[in-house]
Homo-oligomer: A and B are copies of this chain.
Amino acid sequence: MDTLTIIAIVSIATAGLSIGIGVIGPALGQGRAVSSALTALAQQPDAASTITRTLFVGLAMIESIAIYCFVISIILIFANPFWNHAIAQVGGH
């Protein structure tokens, strides 16, 4: 296997696995947050605006963590510096 192929397959496998494993936490965390928001709404409907506002801030924070994973995956597929260097080395492009 030449250099390009090796870098390609490692990038593919890593991108897939890191997003695959990485969504477990954020999804469970968001599920928990949403779940508590709904319980809270049922308990105190008058505080709906504060609750939903806090919920959205929290979901955004957790989503940001999931996006770290997504960003790394996308970087590894579409903006991989090691791949770019190898391409430049080979002279192809």
Interface residues, chain A, CB within 8 Å of chain B?
1-48, 50-52, 54-59, 61-66, 68-70, 72-73, 75-78, 80-83, 85-87, 89, 92
Contacts and interface: CB of A to CB of B under 8 A. Distances in A.
Contacts of A5: 3, 6-7, 86
Nearest to A1: B6
Given A28-B31, A45-B46, 20 more contacts: A5-B6, A13-B13, A16-B17, A16-B73, A18-B19, A20-B69, A21-B21, A21-B22, A21-B24, A30-B61, A31-B31, A33-B38, A34-B36, A34-B55, A38-B58, A41-B54, A44-B45, A59-B61, A63-B64, A76-B77
Copy tally for this chain in the complex stands at: 14
A33 B58 CA distance: 9
A22 B13 CA distance: 14
